[in-house]
Amino acid sequence: MRAKRIIISGGGTGGHIYPAIAIASAILEIEPNCEFLFVGAEGKMEMEKVPKAGFQIVGLPIVGINRQHMMKNLLFPFKLFKSLSQAFSILREFKPDMAIGVGGYASGPMLIAAWIKGIPFVIQEQNSFAGITNKFLSSKAQRIFVAYPHMEKFFPANKILYLGNPVRKDLIDPSGKKELAIKHFKLQAGKPIILIIGGSQGSRTINLAIQAGLESLAHAGIQIIWQTGIPFENEALDSVSKCEELSAYVSAFIYEMDLAYAAADLVISRAGALSVSEICLVGKASILVPLPSAAEDHQTQNAQSLVAQQAALLVKDSEAKNSLVKQAIDSISNYELITQLENNSKALAKPKAAHDIAQHILDIVHIHEK
């Protein structure tokens, strides 16, 4: 009997890519002989990240719709048609038993092609606000795996499984690592630590707010672990070097996220689906600064979902420069608030998400092979 073959399509940001890799890894733990082919968008970060994780990937020429400059969309129909044509070729050559869409540009053409060819597919929606493509395809999907409750306003209720977002295994239990983490980042024990993360690209809004508030953080006795993204790294390092009282670790990208979370007493972050899921999984208090230009403003929806359950605080992007650091200093000194946010965020975690999604996918594959 030949190995099961599964296509995983999507990407564009870490919030789509890392859950996809987590699902594939979880499937391999259950059925090690499965074969995978990832399908991404040419020039996007999945074309680099997926091979590093040990999986094969091919790229489609698909691009997103530019909502700010409609004239830039003139080539979109041609690239969509070419992507659909290539998607059909991929299906003919790879002969998958199942397709998984995780969101991002490549997900649409690949799932449309799978639907037309009668190949079963599932959708994994990371956000609390569903995208246009996923809503359009939802009635054709076998299952829709969601990370937030009340998603029946977007999808057929009988197809929804509320299982959470898959995350990297090393984050599932960061407990007991705080002492090691503090040493790793060369910080001091006994002083509060704020972890600042802006997503895989870094956040200019958050970076500028932190830069403006370095002296205030130092005077409050607060240490920082600051993930800046590549464009802002040198500027951040220069600013920190001029603030001699501040203990800080600055890097464009943090690879040891388990240690970063273990060290942190408070997290400042964008509200992408992956970041929110990780914060809940590790049970950390957080201040979320949603990216207002995200598609359908889904980051604000993600953040408000946690705020409504007293599991996070929210600072608007437009208000971050003046209020973010003050909010952080006030919050980190409020033990009752921090404890409440930690407990409520932890209660929303779904630590078995990757395994549960993988098992449901394999169940569907086995049903269709009979």
Query: Cβ(274)–Cβ(165) under 8 Å?
Result: yes
User: Is position 276 annotated in a ligand binding site?
Assistant: yes
Query: Cβ(32)–Cβ(26) under 8 Å?
Result: no
Looking at the DSSP bridge assignments, the partners of residue 145 are 124, 161
Nearest to 44 by CA among 254, 252, 201: 201
User: Is position 273 annotated in a ligand binding site?
Assistant: yes
User: Is position 244 annotated in a ligand binding site?
Assistant: no
User: Is position 254 annotated in a ligand binding site?
Assistant: yes
User: Is position 278 annotated in a ligand binding site?
Assistant: yes
User: Is position 343 annotated in a ligand binding site?
Assistant: no
Report the alpha-carbon distance of residue 33 to residue 2 in Å, rounded.
9
User: Is position 10 annotated in a ligand binding site?
Assistant: no
Query: Cβ(79)–Cβ(61) under 8 Å?
Result: yes
User: Is position 247 annotated in a ligand binding site?
Assistant: no
Nearest to 322 by CA among 223, 236, 212, 241: 212
User: Is position 128 annotated in a ligand binding site?
Assistant: no
User: Is position 305 annotated in a ligand binding site?
Assistant: no
Return the C-alpha torsion angle 23, 27, 32, 35, nearest 10: -70
Q: CA 195, 346, 159: angle at the middle one, nearest 5?
A: 115
Query: Cβ(73)–Cβ(56) under 8 Å?
Result: no
Report the alpha-carbon distance of residue 218 to residue 58 in Å, rounded.
47
User: Is position 200 annotated in a ligand binding site?
Assistant: yes
First to last CA, the chain: 13
The DSSP string of 260-297 is: HHHH-SEEEE---HHHHHHHHHHT--EEE---TTSGGG
Token couple for 87: 């998607």
Strand pairing class (5-9; 266-269): unpaired
Query: Cβ(54)–Cβ(22) under 8 Å?
Result: no
- DSSP code for 226: E
Residue 223's SS3 state is strand
H-type alpha helices, 117-232: 132-137, 178-184, 204-212, 214-219
User: Is position 204 annotated in a ligand binding site?
Assistant: no
User: Is position 275 annotated in a ligand binding site?
Assistant: yes
User: Is position 108 annotated in a ligand binding site?
Assistant: no
Q: Residues forming the annotated binding site?
A: 13-15, 127, 168, 200, 254, 273-278, 299
Q: Residues forming the annotated binding site for UDP-N-acetyl-alpha-D-glucosamine?
A: 13-15, 127, 168, 200, 254, 273-278, 299
